[in-house]
Structure 1
């Protein structure tokens, strides 16, 4: 497999999903598509922008496995408007990496093909290969439409210095006990000149709104993918989020303060003691590991209202557009790139990088496959000598199997976007939670009605 990287200018336009869902496409069937275990020919890939050692090592592995496939990589990030335009013109790549929230949208519009036969040809049982929540993300109309990769579960990373100074213990950072958590947040919160100087608990209430709704027992959509944003339980969850923000100066001041965080840098919010606790996806442990000597962290799981550990699935996937010129090679490439052998090659590459970096900590890889995750953990994740980091890493491994899917919907990304809009307007006090979610429901239903074939 010969690989050529065509680094193109990134598109900056925001995707208009309402327009996208009104578009139609070619027949998304496998009637004219055959899959084999020995593909050949040219393959055009778009969106595989994983340029670190984890991505490059997998590409090298697949190059050896598919020597007769000539791959061209367009590594610019996926763009919904661009994809719609390319589909309308008939100029589609053979395989595309995209967020899993987009998959059902394109499936419903016949813009991508189902991959059940692709998996079967290569001897992969998706139900065994992937976490249930990950597979649910890409399942629509009883078919599997994408090859998943990565799964970044969110949990709560604690800043022990801030907590100890305020007299707050880890068991008080408990999302299943709203009053206990609110009291702990208030104890850790500090102001200077009327503005926040320490956020007790950064709930990530807008970006992680779906986690809060599902964790409270609400939902974003029903089993058919129809939006359910105005669920009364969702209203309760957002009303509680507003209490958390109001106890810490209000959303506007919070946003201004957290926007100033050196999130990836040497003066990040844990180094600078600007947060007591914060919801973060697993990858952020890698960021903090660079500063292990200057932070004091542990982690606790987000919990549902029954007090059980709870998290949500998110990540990317590979789809094959309807009209792809080499669907056979696209199928094989995506399957090989996410195989256990490819991921183990990535684990070895990451371990080598860690071994060459003084003080680095191997936090593991979260691939979307439970068997692969455990294999990499067993082979490469060792005790670091930093008890706090070891406990944090273990926490993410403990919760990854507890993930829930947001669901698959033809209006999936619109639902997510409208939810964020609703939460933001509620936190700012522009609308009540019920009013904001009602408006979001109407907008999401319009997208859903346009997307679902009548």
Structure 2
């Protein structure tokens, strides 16, 4: 079977980890650095590519707090293979920004340092600063290995024009009522010559696969960090996604059509009425805000099978590699970047950017910190004059409190890739859901073992 680029990346990471396993002691044996010294000297950081107003304002704030530190930033994007190569050679930066799903992998191999002592030195209570599920993202072997930032909760954005024309109401877009949701999708679905022209409900099955599994009571990673893709409830989720796709022309045609969307452009799927409802992360509301006078949107939460609002985490984290030359500065810098004051500086910068664009809407910041989210919202996010956008923004804020972590594993990226492979093969009809998940579990377990899982 042809592997996706993400799968190849994950396999590459696992392979590199095998080579490094002989020279690293694993997560349990990694000693924490001394984070108590006063930060001075040079700090080398990596992975800070394309910083926007939110990023640059926080960087400015953190720099002002570390007046005796010369901060040098490599603004190229994080690269997993490059990181493992640098770790093997002993040439590592002091701090790295990466996707949180990498954290468990590097923690298991002893390539990054546990940060509980960093939080202690900085007088930071992790449970107070971050959402519980955000903390869980970077927790492995009962220790925290990253300083998390951002949390983009998913919810369902509704295209009221398409829904109203089809006679569909918001209460019918309910993921806890599969039969009702499929009927609503069928009412909104349109096709021409056998090809979709409007997808009634786009579940983004291969982009939000973990959400669907967990929402159906399944799991992707168990409490010990092992893959759990063959969980029986995951089968139920894929069976629903298959039925939903079959009701809208089939997965192959749906995927081909959605791949053609002008997602970030002037003729995006909401402007062009190519979707009736679509599962999206919060950042997509920002994409739609310039088109507020062309679209009519609202939002509803994704609900689990008990009918409760449900969300999952995603975002990045700062990690300190083993062998970092200036761990004290790295620790303090990461804590400054994710502090309440830094986020308020970011909120002000974003508000200034929006004020310079007539008609722009402030959709808020989703920082990974509940107190920062609340403070930014109260000070900078007001009544936009567009009731639909205001309701949508409120929905995303409300659902953020209902989050759950995917889990942390030495093979986090490989598990995600194998899950997407399983969903794709099942929706295309190449395998049954049971067989697809069984094969994915076997491949993920191989990656887990290679990456140092016990």
Structure 2: distance between partners of 1:207 and 1:37: 43
Q: How does 1:292-331 map to 2 (within 5 A)?
A: 292-331=292-331
Farther-moved stretch of structure 1 (282-291 vs 29-38): 29-38
Equivalence for 1:275: 275
- Are the equivalent residues in 2 in contact too, given 1:311–1:402 (CA < 8 A)? yes
Match status 1:426 vs 2:426? yes
Equivalence for 1:169: 169
- Are the equivalent residues in 2 in contact too, given 1:37–1:122 (CA < 8 A)? no
Structure 2: distance between partners of 1:379 and 1:195: 47
- Are the equivalent residues in 1 in contact too, given 2:31–2:113 (CA < 8 A)? no
Equivalence for 2:206: 206
Structure 2: distance between partners of 1:123 and 1:37: 14
Equivalence for 2:13: 17
- Are the equivalent residues in 2 in contact too, given 1:21–1:447 (CA < 8 A)? no
Q: Shift of the alpha carbon at 1:285?
A: 0.4
SS at structure 1 position matched to 2:85:
helix
Aligned length: 442
Equivalence for 1:9: none
Q: Which runs of 5+ in 1 are unaligned?
A: 1-12
**Deviations along 1:409-432, whole A, 9 cap, x unmatched?**
111111101000000111111111
Q: Shift of the alpha carbon at 1:271?
A: 0.4
Relative to structure 1, is the Cα distance of residues 401 and 50 closer, same or farther in structure 2, using a 3 angstrom cutoff? farther
- Are the equivalent residues in 2 in contact too, given 1:221–1:228 (CA < 8 A)? yes
**Deviations along 1:27-76, whole A, 9 cap, x unmatched?**
56675721136301111111112521000000111111001111111112
**Deviations along 1:287-312, whole A, 9 cap, x unmatched?**
10011000000000000000000010
Structure 2: distance between partners of 1:71 and 1:14: 30
Structure 1: distance between partners of 2:452 and 2:391: 45
Match status 1:181 vs 2:177? no
Farther-moved stretch of structure 1 (270-279 vs 220-229): 220-229
Q: Shift of the alpha carbon at 1:453?
A: 5.7
Match status 1:191 vs 2:187? no
- Are the equivalent residues in 2 in contact too, given 1:21–1:410 (CA < 8 A)? no
Structure 1: distance between partners of 2:177 and 2:31: 53
- Are the equivalent residues in 2 in contact too, given 1:26–1:322 (CA < 8 A)? no
Equivalence for 1:450: 450
**Deviations along 1:85-142, whole A, 9 cap, x unmatched?**
1111111111111111110110000000000000110110101111010000001111
Q: Shift of the alpha carbon at 1:18?
A: 2.7
Equivalence for 2:33: 33
Match status 1:251 vs 2:251? yes
Match status 1:82 vs 2:78? no
SS at structure 2 position matched to 1:444:
helix
- Are the equivalent residues in 1 in contact too, given 2:116–2:144 (CA < 8 A)? yes
Equivalence for 2:146: 146
Q: How does 1:11-410 map to 2 (within 5 A)?
A: 14-15=9-10, 16-22=12-18, 23-24=20-21, 25-26=23-24, 31=31, 33-36=33-36, 38-410=38-410
Structure 1: distance between partners of 2:48 and 2:72: 11
- Are the equivalent residues in 1 in contact too, given 2:15–2:450 (CA < 8 A)? no
Equivalence for 2:3: none
TM-score, L = length of structure 2? 0.95
Farther-moved stretch of structure 1 (86-95 vs 270-279): 86-95
**Deviations along 1:173-216, whole A, 9 cap, x unmatched?**
00000000000001100001111000001100111010000000
- Are the equivalent residues in 1 in contact too, given 2:97–2:319 (CA < 8 A)? yes
Structure 1: distance between partners of 2:74 and 2:54: 18
Structure 2: distance between partners of 1:207 and 1:17: 21
Structure 2: distance between partners of 1:453 and 1:184: 44
- Are the equivalent residues in 2 in contact too, given 1:95–1:320 (CA < 8 A)? yes
Equivalence for 1:4: none
Structure 2: distance between partners of 1:218 and 1:175: 15
Q: Shift of the alpha carbon at 1:169?
A: 0.3
Relative to structure 1, is the Cα distance of residues 178 and 378 closer, same or farther in structure 2, using a 3 angstrom cutoff? same
- Are the equivalent residues in 1 in contact too, given 2:156–2:301 (CA < 8 A)? yes
Structure 2: distance between partners of 1:87 and 1:215: 37
Q: Shift of the alpha carbon at 1:20?
A: 3.4
Structure 2: distance between partners of 1:346 and 1:275: 33
**Deviations along 1:330-386, whole A, 9 cap, x unmatched?**
111111011110110000000001111110011110000000000000110000000
TM-score, L = length of structure 1? 0.95
